[in-house]
Structure 1
Amino acid sequence: MLFKTRGIVFRTIKYGETSVIADIFTEDKGLHTFIAGGVRSAKARMPYNLFQPMTVVDMVSYFREDQEAINRLKELRAAELWTQIPFDIRRGAVALFMAEICRKSIQEAEENRDLFEYLFQTLQWLDTSPHPIANLHLHFLLRLSGLLGFQPQGEHDEDRELFFDLREGTFEPVPPVHGVHLEPEETQQMLALLHVEAELCHEVALDRKQRKALLQQLLRFYQLHVDGFTGVNTPEILEMIL
């Protein structure tokens, strides 16, 4: 059947001489894999730049209700044109990081409009924000964890010393015996990010060293709670430019 929807490109790999295979998170059917022919030819009807990670597209495809199927794209066009992400090295690096995290943590092949809208709105903010974006990737990891079912829960109380148990996802007054936890300073930083919207996450005071340490801990948190989640390649880039 023909299937028309919006999608967010997570990953693209070249296939054959002119084709590509893309993992696209669709608004109506969740995550699926699609193939498009002739994309890398001079007369391509679907330009290759539409397959860049975190591009939002309107798409028409031939579709089968099988998560393992590779569906053929019939039409593809930009649903949203980013004005800064492709040209700003910092914004572009954050978008690539988001794409890699999504590809390794989102597995559902079914409709999840809340997740789709969150990703779309975060990309819009990343593209248009007049504020510094150095904390946005950390905020993204925390909010995405909630949509995936394992967001930490807790109140932001600067007067109370808490440890965050990475295994259990809970805030504790004493460190857990297994030792897999955040120290109180990192816990307070995480709580501060949890309790602000993306538009205000730049107001959380973190220096480069603190951001690096918190990023490493949040990636560890994902490894503990997402089946098959492996290391990501983009943190080193973020650490250099944010």
Structure 2
Amino acid sequence: MIIKSKGIVLGYIKYGDSSIIARIFTEESGYGSYIVNSIRSQKTKKSIGHFQPFSILDLILYVKETRDLQRISEFKNHYPLHHLHHDPIKSSITLFLTEVFSKLLQSEQSPNPHLFSFAEESIKVLDALESGVANFHLQFLLKIGPHLGYAIDEIDNLFSSTDRLSPSSEVHKRMEVLMNEPYGVGLGMSRESRNEVLDEILNYYEHHAHIHKPRSLEVLRSILN
């Protein structure tokens, strides 16, 4: 079956001599792994740069229900990203979020148009954002919860559901602002406050989604610090 879909790239690994297997969240089929043939060949006219994390692509997919690993026939950029892969802070945030997002998407094997739309628009905002960039990953992980079926529409749910002690009133208030205000909200945060907020969010997802601390976490913290 041939499917046309938008897709958000979450990463890839090398496959064979010249191909890759890309992890992609697609609008029409959900999360999956796809072979891209000959993309690493010197003779190819296509650039592997299309498959940088959070790239948004137009795809033509060959899908067989009996096969776990599907195939990409054609691809092109759907939306040009001008800053995401060149700005060191944005690229570090992107690597961190794609790692966490991939783990959270393990159960999203079917279409979730609301989640896809949220992720797509968030990526576009991050690419264009000029202020509040250092807090983007906190807002993304707080705002995405309801789209994945996690009841963190209120900050108190982050703690009551995991039997953790609530943070200081100052941190609690900052988390509510991050969740409810648009990306880039003016909210100065110290390194300690930012780390505390992120730890609480990751503890919530570790408890409910059974995901471990991301490998890219310390790299992100070193860049933001």
TM-score by length of 1: 0.85
The equivalent residue for 2:211 is 229
Q: CA deviation at 1:182?
A: 3.1
From 136, 159, 163, the equivalent of 1:166 is: 159
Following superposition, the deviation at residue 165 of structure 1 comes to: 5.2
How far is 1:167 from its partner?
Answer: 5.2
Distance 1:65 1:193 in 2: 40
Q: What does residue 159 of structure 1 align with?
A: none
Task: Give 1:126's aligned residue.
Answer: 126
1:214 aligns with 2:213: no
Q: Percent identity?
A: 28
CA distance in 2, matches of 1:184, 1:71: 48
- CA distance in 1 between counterparts of 2:27 and 2:158 reads 34
Q: Which amino acid aligns with 2:213?
A: G
Bigger proportion of residues as helix: 2
> What amino acid is the match of 1:100?
E
Distance change >3 Å, CA 113–CA 164, structure 1 → 2: closer
Gapped regions of structure 1 (runs ≥ 5)? 156-162, 170-177
CA gap of 1:52–1:165, structure 2 versus 1, over 3 A, is closer
Q: Secondary structure at the match of 1:212?
A: helix
What TM-score do you get using the length of structure 2 for normalisation?
Answer: 0.91
Gap regions ≥5 residues in structure 2: none
Paired residue total: 223
Matched with 2:101 is: 102
The 3 A distance-change label for structure 1 pair 179 and 220 is closer
Are the aligned partners of 1:98 and 1:137 in contact in 2 as well (CA < 8 Å)? yes
- Does the residue aligned with 1:221 lie in a helix, a strand or coil? helix
For residue 130 of structure 1, report the CA deviation from its aligned partner: 2.1
User: Cα–Cα, structure 1 residues 153 and 72, in superposed 2: closer, same or farther, change >3 Å?
Assistant: closer
Structure 1 equivalent of residue 9 of structure 2: 9
Deviation at 1:185, TM superposition (A): 3.0
The structural deviation recorded for 1:46 is 3.4
Structure 1 Cα separation of the partners of residues 141 and 79 of structure 2: 23
Indicate the RMSD between aligned Cα atoms, in angstroms.
1.9
Structure with greater Cα Rg = 1
